[in-house]
């Protein structure tokens, strides 16, 4: 079966060469940086139905680090879905070390995996990762850390599954706009906030930071940034940063924006230790909808969060992987598949709690 498929591919490649259309060349994408919702996967250019390999193939999954609250939920969902479909799955921990992850990818390739699902340690390593999987011809789904469309265009058996990070930032801003005083607790005409950022190398951190504040500004609200500190997605860092900022700025802080829930849970500990009360004298928002955050939203200790749908993304990643295994390829600029974020408030939080 595999052989027939290889022959078919060889024939298609010959045809492509003869007609002069290089399969790897990105289409003209000047000026269009918006990744498309992808129904973009195209089956091989022959008339026959692509031959999806029987379930039971070997899948390698690389996670940037196991010790990340959100990626733990995500990788468990991935493993469950893949195993449920009969795949043999190996999930490895990159320990937040790109060199280590590169080795893991090479090992998977040497072992002859049928497909890879990769959560890169560093977005800046995308070029190297893509060149490696392309050279080995391994169908690959990237998750959680989105490369640029230009980077992905280098390999047509590659797709990204994730969320549009700008949307989560906008939703955070809207959560503040939906409060009775639109975030201006002390009524001085502006919203004074601190920003606790994830890893700034990561597009999720960059866009959430930008778009949360932009939502306020777009609504005509004046803002004042008291501090912006990187917390690397980490709960303890979130706590330390918030405690330091509360010591320095005290009651001036009206809003604590956290790029994720784990840091928001840390920040909440600092807020409570400082004797402040969320939704009365300070607002606090995160992203992810971790169980702990849902509890706090429901108890009134967080103003809100944004669902980062780990299960939906895991299901999407597996679905795209299966398309690739069936022989689909992706056109340049159509290599991102997005799952929607959802705003979580005290009004709808029950819908998200197990
Ligand atoms: C999540 C964070 C997580 C990060 C890892 C983000 O999308 O919101 O909680 O730490 O991904 O890359």
Q: What is the mean pLDDT of residues 327-331?
A: 97
Distance 111 CA to ligand 1 centre (A): 29
pLDDT of residue 42: 56
**Ligand 1 atom nearest to 165, measured from its CA:** 7
pLDDT at 21 over 70: no
pLDDT at 134 over 70: yes
pLDDT digits (tens, 9 = 90+) for 103-115: 999 999 999 999 9
pLDDT digits (tens, 9 = 90+) for 74-126: 999 999 999 999 999 999 999 999 999 999 999 999 999 999 999 999 999 99
Q: Residue with structure tokens 């001085």?
A: 188
Q: What is the mean pLDDT of residues 229-240?
A: 98
Nearest CA to ligand 1 atom 10: 233
**With contact defined as beta carbons under 8 Å apart, do 260 and 205 qualify?**
no
C-alpha to C-alpha distance for 242 and 257, rounded to whole angstroms: 10
N-to-C CA span, the chain: 43
Q: Any long-range contacts for 72-79 (C-beta under 8 Å, 24+ apart)?
A: 73/290, 73/310, 74/119, 74/143, 74/144, 74/310, 74/313, 74/314, 75/119, 77/310, 77/311, 77/314, 77/315, 78/117, 78/314, 78/317, 78/318
Mean pLDDT across the chain: 88
**Residues with a CB atom less than 6 Å from ligand 1:** 68, 70-71, 144-145, 198, 202, 204, 233, 260, 262, 287-288, 308
> What dihedral angle (degrees, nearest 10) is formed by the CA atoms of 100, 101, 106, 107?
70
pLDDT of residue 109: 98
pLDDT at 50 over 90: no
Q: What is the mean pLDDT of residues 323-333?
A: 97
pLDDT digits (tens, 9 = 90+) for 245-273: 999 999 999 999 999 999 999 999 999 99
Which residues on adjacent β-strands are paired with residue 257? Answer: 195, 285
pLDDT of residue 354: 84
pLDDT at 38 over 90: no
**Ligand 1 atom nearest to 163, measured from its CA:** 7
Pocket test residue of 308, 340, 342 for ligand 1, highest count of atoms within 8 A of CB? 308
Distance 8 CA to ligand 1 centre (A): 40
C-alpha to C-alpha distance for 149 and 155, rounded to whole angstroms: 11
Which of residues 9 and 244 earns the better pLDDT score? 244
**Ligand 1 atom nearest to 68, measured from its CA:** 10
pLDDT digits (tens, 9 = 90+) for 195-212: 999 999 999 999 999 999
Q: What's the per-residue H, E or C state across the chain? A: CHHHHHHHHHHHHHHHHHHCCCCCCCCCCCCCCCCCCCCCCECCCCCCCCCCCCCCCEEEEEECCCCCHHHHHHHHHHHHHHHHCCCEEEEEECCCCHHHHHHHHHHHHHHCCCEEEECCCCHHHHHHHHHHHHHHCCCEEEECCCCCHHHHCCCCCEEEEECCHHHHHHHHHHHHHCCCCCCCCCCCCCEEEEEEECCCCCHHHHHHHHHHHHHHHHCCCCEEEEEEEECCCCHHHHHHHHHHHHHHHHHHCCEEEECCHHHHHHHHHHHHHCCCCECCCEEEECCECCHHHHHHHHHCCCCEEEECCHHHHHHHHHHHHHHHHCCCECCCCCCEEECCCEEECCCCHHHHCC
**Ligand 1 atom nearest to 290, measured from its CA:** 9
pLDDT at 23 over 80: no
Nearest CA to ligand 1 atom 6: 204
pLDDT of residue 29: 32
Which of residues 33 and 324 earns the better pLDDT score? 324
**Ligand 1 atom nearest to 145, measured from its CA:** 12
Q: What is the mean pLDDT of residues 228-248?
A: 98
């Amino acid at each position: 079966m595999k052989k027939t498929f290889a022959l078919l591919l060889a024939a298609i490649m010959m045809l492509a060469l003869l007609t002069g259309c290089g399969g790897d060349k990105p289409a003209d994408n000047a000026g269009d940086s918006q990744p498309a919702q992808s129904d973009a996967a195209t089956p091989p250019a022959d008339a026959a139905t692509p031959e999806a390999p029987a379930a039971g193939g070997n899948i390698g999954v690389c996670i940037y680090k196991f010790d990340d609250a959100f990626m733990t939920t995500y990788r468990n969902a991935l493993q469950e879905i893949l195993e449920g479909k009969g795949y043999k799955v190996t999930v490895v921990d990159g320990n937040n070390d790109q060199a280590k992850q590169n080795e893991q990818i090479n090992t998977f390739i040497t072992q002859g995996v049928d497909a890879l699902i990769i959560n890169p340690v560093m977005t800046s390593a995308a070029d190297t990762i893509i060149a490696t999987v392309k050279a080995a011809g391994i169908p690959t789904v990237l998750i959680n850390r989105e490369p640029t469309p230009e980077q992905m265009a280098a390999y047509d058996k590659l797709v990204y599954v994730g969320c549009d990070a700008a949307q989560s930032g906008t939703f955070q801003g809207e959560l503040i706009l939906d409060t009775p005083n639109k975030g201006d607790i002390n009524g001085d005409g502006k919203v004074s906030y601190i920003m606790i950022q994830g890893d700034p190398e990561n597009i999720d951190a960059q866009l959430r930071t930008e778009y949360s504040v932009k939502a306020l500004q777009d609504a005509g609200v004046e803002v004042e940034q008291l501090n912006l500190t990187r917390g690397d997605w980490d709960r303890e860092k979130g706590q330390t940063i918030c405690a330091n900022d509360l010591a320095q700025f005290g009651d001036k802080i009206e809003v604590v924006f956290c790029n994720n829930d784990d840091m928001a849970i840390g920040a909440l500990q600092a807020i409570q230790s400082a004797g402040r009360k969320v939704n009365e004298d300070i607002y606090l928002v995160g992203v992810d909808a971790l169980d702990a955050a849902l509890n706090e939203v429901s108890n009134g200790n967080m103003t809100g969060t944004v669902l980062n749908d780990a299960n939906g993304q895991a299901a999407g990643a597996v679905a795209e992987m299966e398309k690739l295994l069936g022989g689909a390829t992706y056109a340049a600029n159509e290599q991102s598949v997005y799952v929607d974020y959802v705003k979580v408030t005290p009004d709808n939080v029950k819908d998200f709690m197990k």
